[in-house]
Chains A and B, each alone.
Chain A
Amino acid sequence: GAVVSQHPSRVICKSGTSVKIECRSLDFQATTMFWYRQFPKQSLMLMATSNEGSKATYEQGVEKDKFLINHASLTLSTLTVTSAHPEDSSFYICSARATSGSRSSYEQYFGPGTRLTVT
């Protein structure tokens, strides 16, 4: 149980184009999802917190107009990287918190990540 999927796992796009990454909680409902970015040999950096039905909360330094987040349902959040540039190349990971039930409300369940390469 507590499975989070991400799609695509890898994507290569050209500079200036947009890319959408999907994050789904498969067997539980998640009111809150988190989007992280991880550069090689670095830690996970939180980009934004996504709450179902409301606007995402972005971390300082993260451009909300560039990284569009939509959390339209309790099982799906999307991250769209707009006008991508080579410096946006990174490993993007989502996570989800269970709303209620037997699962710990503290624990975050991570997706497998999306490797974005912008050429």
Chain B
Amino acid sequence: GENVEQHPSTLSVQEGDSAVIKCTYSDSASNYFPWYKQELGKRPQLIIDIRSNVGEKKDQRIAVTLNKTAKHFSLHITETQPEDSAVYFCAAWTTGFQKLVFGTGTRLLVSP
């Protein structure tokens, strides 16, 4: 089945810096890749997603890139703010098994 790896597990940056989180997946049939932000005790919130027919997508300070050949995708956050501090999860939708497989999560800490 699908396996999603995520790095780094923790990331500390200064306010205003950029943050990059990387994920790799194993199932070449996966075709949808969402990113979620989760604050402590809360539900995951979709922040951006990308489908396999697109290489890059941007929404204000957040962007996602996808390399289907290498089977990896990345989240880029620019001009980070303290309120960006949270745990971020990548995920891959497997068309064969019809389910989302989540990465292990990245704890992002943005210091003022």
Contact = CB atoms under 8 A, between A and B. Distances in A.
The answer to whether A and B come from one shared complex is yes
Contact of A44 (B41, B51, B89, B93): B89
Interface string B96-112: 00111111110000000
Interface string A33-68: 010000000111110010000000000000000000
B contact patch SS: strand
Interface residues of B, number: 20
Given A43-B89, A106-B32, A106-B49, A93 B43 contact: yes
Contact of B46 (A42, A107, A111): A107
A85 interface: no
Nearest to B98: A49
A46 B34 CA distance: 16
Interface of B: 32, 34, 41-46, 49, 51, 89, 93, 98-105
